[in-house]
A and B are shown apart, each in its own frame.
Chain A
Amino acid sequence: AQKVTQAQTEISVVEKEDVTLDCVYETRDTTYYLFWYKQPPSGELVFLIRRNSFDEQNEISGRYSWNFQKSTSSFNFTITASQVVDSAVYFCALSGEDSSYKLIFGSGTRLLVRP
């Protein structure tokens, strides 16, 4: 079975702090994909990144960076110099052949960035 665990229910930081959101996954697929989505207060899920299981290179996009480690089945997300606009719920998701390519989401981490 496939499963995504986001153990941090809620994180609160002060603006400009760095913050890391944890994601641990379980799958029996050899080929799978990992995603992060942002859900701001408006409610619409916004796609942030897709990573396939064969590409363990870390990725950086502006203030965002992702650390993928197959050895620990983790795909963590770091926001550097957080801003108030980063306040949202962040979801990690998994997809692969075992799930017929649908997204399996974690329960989300609510990030509150205080001014």
Chain B
Amino acid sequence: DTGVSQDPRHKITKRGQNVTFRCDPISEHNRLYWYRQTLGQGPEFLTYFQNEAQLEKSRLLSDRFSAERPKGSFSTLEIQRTEQGDSAMYLCASSFQPGQGIYEQYFGPGTRLTVT
């Protein structure tokens, strides 16, 4: 039984570099979410996909951030020209939404990004 997986688990990069993170959701889940968590805070929503369609982006997601979910399977989150303020834990979650109602999201282990 595989849960949500994320790669890499840790990433250290220099300011100005581009980074890309990958998330593999639970296979039958049609929704995929990205959150960001900084130290001592709860996760904050960044964006989500219903199958391959990106349905909402938070105002936290600047133009330097882009996310994709080709074919409605795995997703990537890219940050261009990283800044020190981007240092955080990036969490991916997935859920199965058969219709109305809201179902629990299952989280991956996260990717911890450190920008030096």
- Using a Cβ–Cβ cut-off of 8 Å, how many residues does chain B contribute to the interface with A? 26
Decide if A43 touches B33 in the complex (CB within 8 Å).
no
**Knowing that A100-B56, A102-B56, A105-B42 are A-B contacts, what are 13 other residue pairs whose CB atoms are under 8 Å apart, sorted by A's residue number?**
A4-B42, A35-B104, A42-B109, A43-B112, A47-B104, A47-B107, A50-B102, A100-B48, A100-B55, A101-B97, A103-B43, A103-B105, A106-B42
Q: B106 an interface residue at 8 Å Cβ cutoff?
A: yes
**CA distance in complex: A33, B89 (Å):** 25
Stretch of A14-22, A59-67, A77-85, A90-98 lying at the B interface: A90-98
In the complex, chain A residues whose CB is within 8 Å of the CB of B35: 103
> In the complex, what distance in Å separates the CA atom of A103 from the CA atom of B105?
9
Q: What chain B residues lie within 8 Å of A106 (beta carbons)?
A: 42
Measured CA separation A43–B88 after assembly (Å): 12
Interface residue tally on A, bucketed by range: 20 to 34
23 contacts between A and B (CB under 8 A): A4-B42, A37-B107, A42-B109, A44-B107, A44-B108, A45-B43, A46-B107, A47-B105, A50-B103, A50-B104, A52-B101, A52-B102, A93-B42, A95-B102, A100-B48, A100-B55, A100-B56, A102-B56, A103-B35, A104-B45, A105-B42, A106-B42, A108-B41
Cβ 8 A contact of A107, one of B40, B45, B48: B40
CB distance from B102 to the nearest CB of A (A): 4
Contact with A along B66-105 (1 / 0, CB 8 A): 0000000000000000000000010101000100011111
Q: Closest CB of chain A to B90's CB: distance in Å?
A: 12
Kindly state the separation between the CA atoms of A95 and B48 in the bound complex, as whole angstroms: 14
